[in-house]
Structure 1
Amino acid sequence: GPSAAARQGAVACLIRSVGGADYRLPHTGQTKYADDAPKIPAGAVTAEDADLIVDLVRQGPVKMKLILTPQQLPDVESYNVIGDIKGSEHPEQIIIVSGHLDSWDLGTGAVDDGAGVAVSMEAANLIQKLHLKPKRTIRVIAWMNEENGLAGSKQYEKDHREEWSNHFAAMETDGGAGHPIGINIKGKFEIKKLLAPVLAVLQESGAGGTNFAEHVGADIQPMEKADVPAFSPIQDSRFYFNYHHTAADTLDKIVPKELAENSAVVAVVTYALANMEQPLPR
């Protein structure tokens, strides 16, 4: 990044956008500077423009004029949005179901992560509509400030870290709304065996796969580090990075049927976790 470039004497740094499609859409994100290097201007160019620059450089020296407009505005007070369905037998034990509210402002944040918030809310709504009675508390969280420093997650950790032992499991949906094909698991391998009946149900819709991952959600990472079992849906992500962090991240990219499929998968897993007879291994 820019710090490595600055150590080599660069006066500015441009990277090729990391998005997955060639629609001349620059991909945005956070720039992190190292403490031991000058802070030089940095930006991302589209894939097409990156190719053009490469071709020009092959022909000889290239001069560029950069006009960059980012600015760091003052922090303002904002909030996580939290709602509980109280458990009927173990209300002190909590299952987190979540997505994050904030987004980059190039688009409207439908893929990243309006979809995750909608999926989490609808999962709880489905459980209510079906008049199911979870034994443990289901806590829906719409996290604030995932993109710019995880302030909402950090505040929740500050407020609840003494209660991690009562956080039975945590789930985050932050990969868009593509067709779900299974569940990512951050936890002990024994968890898969305990979830076998649930996975069999999910497999009827093609969502019974599992993947053990080192990390499943940015906002639930403090709970991951405390060995709280963590989950996220495995989704068809072939097109996710075409739109992620670009001006094309708008509501028209969301397929309602696939959004509903994700809600169903999250609802099934959430209710199963809330009613398991034994604790998950840590």
Structure 2
Amino acid sequence: MIKKITLLCLLFLSVSLISAQSQQEMVEKIVKEAENNSQLENLAHELLDVVGPRLVGTPQMKNAHDWAVKKYSNWDISASNEEWGKWKGWERGITHIDMISPRIQSLEGRQLAWSPSTGKKPVTGEVVIIPEAKDSLDFIEKIKSVKGKFVMISMPQPTGRPDDNWGEWATKESFEKMKKDRDSLDDLWDKRLEKTGLDRRELPKALEDAGAEGIITSNWSRGFGVNKVFSASTEEIPTLDISLEDYGMLYRLAEYGDKPEIRVVAESKELGEVPTFNTIAEIKGSEKPEEYVILSAHFDSWDGATGATDNGTGTIVMMEAMRILKKLYPNPKRTILVGHWGSEEQGLNGSRAFVKDHPEIVENMQVLFNQDNGTGRVVNISGNGFLNSYDYLGRWLYEVPEDVTTHIETNFPGTPGRGGSDYASFVAAGAPAFNLSSLSWDYWNYTWHTNRDTYDKIVFDDVRNNVILTAVLAYMASEDPEKTSREKIKLPMSKRSGEQMTWPEARDATRRGGLD
């Protein structure tokens, strides 16, 4: 009996050593493929330079979905576009803005997403500042003066230098004075808008109804030459975002009585109701095909630039990880899925729709890994409130090369993510989903939803780092003999409200964006 037990122990030890050696060899292969045969630069070029920005409801978004399916097919990976809703269709055309008086100068600017078109014929008008009124009744009278004019509705920034530039070069007294003056101007501008009696979405429509020729905004992002670029709320006249530098010039000219005039061509097309999609690709599992390891990244972007770091980088990380896994690990134990979600930017819509439409997949998820926030190497992973998340994530991370994990801080068990990116859609459904959170690289000021989110901002060494991390974690999660635990922590009392915190609730997607 003792001999039999000893033999069984030796057999188990031998199998364990062979398994560990096999895993180590696979990790080494993944690293070698990622470093020596990387497709990242080519993927980034095709997605960002050729396809371009990916605003939901545009032909470019559909082009991106079709491109991804074709790319996966080239790698012998099954992929398809899965329709989950409808959206207001729109296509951006040429925007050209020129100041024609008191002198000639082409301006840096663009129409906002879903902005009405001027048509091909230029529209010309004087630029004025939104009228200053005593109260909402006074504004009703003064708004009549905007007829036929372009109206500026954003606060003029006193400086286009970011605060870190001031902190480096200014005297302490000068820096503090600038911030005080800016805060004062901000308060005065808020009061000016408040006296209109309208909120920031209602105001452009009221100016449109009063006969304005167009709306001019400038949504500075606190970085050199950088603006946030979102969507228009007008229905008949164009809404333009103009750079801080050119907006400030126009504002000063108007304020000093120089009566600046601009000529605008803002071409775009309204396309009616169009379908919107997620792209789903899979490598079928060989032993547990009904259990799923999911790689996740939203595919859409705003279209002030090409959406390079939000979320082109997350997209190509997941595509490259899938390519490597298919090449080196074509018969995983569990099915490996990748979700390229549509309309994350308008409220996690693609991933919320997937969770709602595929409860059988969500129920049988082993894990989901999501990457979104920029080009930087992953530096933080939270357990998202899953009590035993350390047990399995810790095992898998241990097998990732040390030069990748050395940057990563973990927070176990953490608390559940409630938004911000698509992993939250799955967490709300009680499924173990984790965000691979990146180093900043000044993401919030310089590339997040801005006119500067372009290919040149990608740091490919960091992105390759994230490919290795993602591919190894997916491999380890697929191979793990144990199913991951979904047990949740008991949430603490909220410090803000003093009430018991609750787990976030799963929500359905907006299925008819901009149409109802």
Same fold (TM > 0.5): yes
Q: Given residue 26 of structure 1, which amino acid in structure 2 is its aligned partner? A: N
Q: 1:270 aligns with which of 474, 492, 515?
A: 474
Change (3 A) 1:190 1:15: farther
SS at match of 1:76: strand
SS at match of 1:218: coil
Q: Report how far residue 218 of structure 1 moved.
A: 2.8
Instruction: Name the structure 2 match of 1:22.
Output: 224
Q: Given residue 272 of structure 1, which amino acid in structure 2 is its aligned partner? A: M
Instruction: Name the structure 2 match of 1:167.
Output: 365
Q: Report how far residue 260 of structure 1 moved.
A: 0.9
Q: Report how far residue 225 of structure 1 moved.
A: 0.8
Q: Is 1:104 equivalent to 2:302 in the alignment? A: yes
**Correspondence list, 1:192-207, <5 A:** 192-202=390-400, 203-205=402-404, 206-207=406-407
Q: Is the 8 A contact 1:95 1:274 kept in 2?
A: yes
Looking at structure 2, the residues matched to 268 and 229 of structure 1 have their Cα atoms a distance apart, in angstroms, of 17
Q: Report how far residue 240 of structure 1 moved.
A: 1.4
Range with bigger deviation, 200-209 or 187-196: 200-209
Give the TM-score normalised by structure 2.
Answer: 0.45
Looking at structure 2, the residues matched to 30 and 162 of structure 1 have their Cα atoms a distance apart, in angstroms, of 36
Looking at structure 2, the residues matched to 64 and 149 of structure 1 have their Cα atoms a distance apart, in angstroms, of 39
SS at match of 1:74: strand
Q: 1:108-150 CA deviation, whole Å, 9 max, x = no partner?
A: 1111111111101111222223236432111011112222354
Looking at structure 1, the residues matched to 285 and 195 of structure 2 have their Cα atoms a distance apart, in angstroms, of 55
Instruction: Name the structure 2 match of 1:240.
Output: 443
Instruction: Name the structure 2 match of 1:254.
Output: 458
Change (3 A) 1:45 1:110: same
Q: Is the 8 A contact 1:180 1:262 kept in 2?
A: yes
Instruction: Name the structure 2 match of 1:280.
Output: 485
Looking at structure 2, the residues matched to 189 and 177 of structure 1 have their Cα atoms a distance apart, in angstroms, of 30
Instruction: Name the structure 1 match of 2:325.
Output: 127
Q: 1:229 aligns with which of 423, 427, 432?
A: 432
Q: Is 1:9 equivalent to 2:197 in the alignment? A: yes
Q: Given residue 463 of structure 2, which amino acid in structure 1 is its aligned partner? A: L
Looking at structure 2, the residues matched to 280 and 179 of structure 1 have their Cα atoms a distance apart, in angstroms, of 27
Q: Report how far residue 42 of structure 1 moved.
A: 8.7
Instruction: Name the structure 2 match of 1:185.
Output: 383
Q: Is the 8 A contact 1:28 1:245 kept in 2?
A: yes
SS at match of 1:87: coil
Instruction: Name the structure 1 match of 2:178.
Output: none
> What percentage of residue pairs aligned between the two structures are identical?
32
Looking at structure 2, the residues matched to 16 and 65 of structure 1 have their Cα atoms a distance apart, in angstroms, of 17
Residue segments in structure 2 that go unaligned for 5+ positions in a row: 1-153, 155-190, 205-214, 488-516
**Correspondence list, 1:207-222, <5 A:** 207-211=407-411, 212=414, 214-215=417-418, 218-222=421-425
Q: Which has the larger Rg?
A: 2
Q: 1:184-214 CA deviation, whole Å, 9 max, x = no partner?
A: 4323142123322333344442244213352
Q: Is the 8 A contact 2:369 2:433 kept in 1?
A: yes
SS at match of 1:83: strand
Looking at structure 1, the residues matched to 270 and 300 of structure 2 have their Cα atoms a distance apart, in angstroms, of 16
Q: Is the 8 A contact 1:100 1:143 kept in 2?
A: yes
Q: Report how far residue 29 of structure 1 moved.
A: 2.9
Q: Is 1:80 equivalent to 2:281 in the alignment? A: no
Q: Report how far residue 75 of structure 1 moved.
A: 3.6
Taking only aligned residues, the RMSD between alpha carbons, in angstroms, comes to 3.9
Looking at structure 2, the residues matched to 87 and 217 of structure 1 have their Cα atoms a distance apart, in angstroms, of 30
Q: Report how far residue 44 of structure 1 moved.
A: 6.9
Q: Given residue 483 of structure 2, which amino acid in structure 1 is its aligned partner? A: Q
**Correspondence list, 1:130-149, <5 A:** 130-131=328-329, 133-149=331-347
Q: Is the 8 A contact 1:30 1:148 kept in 2?
A: no
Q: 1:135-174 CA deviation, whole Å, 9 max, x = no partner?
A: 2111011112222354422432342035421122222211
Residue segments in structure 1 that go unaligned for 5+ positions in a row: 33-40
Q: Given residue 410 of structure 2, which amino acid in structure 1 is its aligned partner? A: T
Range with bigger deviation, 78-87 or 46-55: 46-55
Looking at structure 1, the residues matched to 304 and 436 of structure 2 have their Cα atoms a distance apart, in angstroms, of 26
Q: 1:64-100 CA deviation, whole Å, 9 max, x = no partner?
A: 9999x79976341232111111122211111221212
Q: 1:223-250 CA deviation, whole Å, 9 max, x = no partner?
A: 2111111112121113212112122111
* Structure with the larger RCO, 1 or 2 (CA within 8 Å, 6+ apart): 1
Q: Report how far residue 107 of structure 1 moved.
A: 0.9
Size of the aligned set, in residue pairs, is 273
Q: 1:20-53 CA deviation, whole Å, 9 max, x = no partner?
A: 5232x22023589xxxxxxxx9987766689999
Change (3 A) 1:247 1:90: same
Change (3 A) 1:65 1:201: farther
Q: Given residue 373 of structure 2, which amino acid in structure 1 is its aligned partner? A: G
SS at match of 1:95: strand
Q: Is the 8 A contact 2:229 2:451 kept in 1?
A: no
Range with bigger deviation, 113-122 or 214-223: 214-223
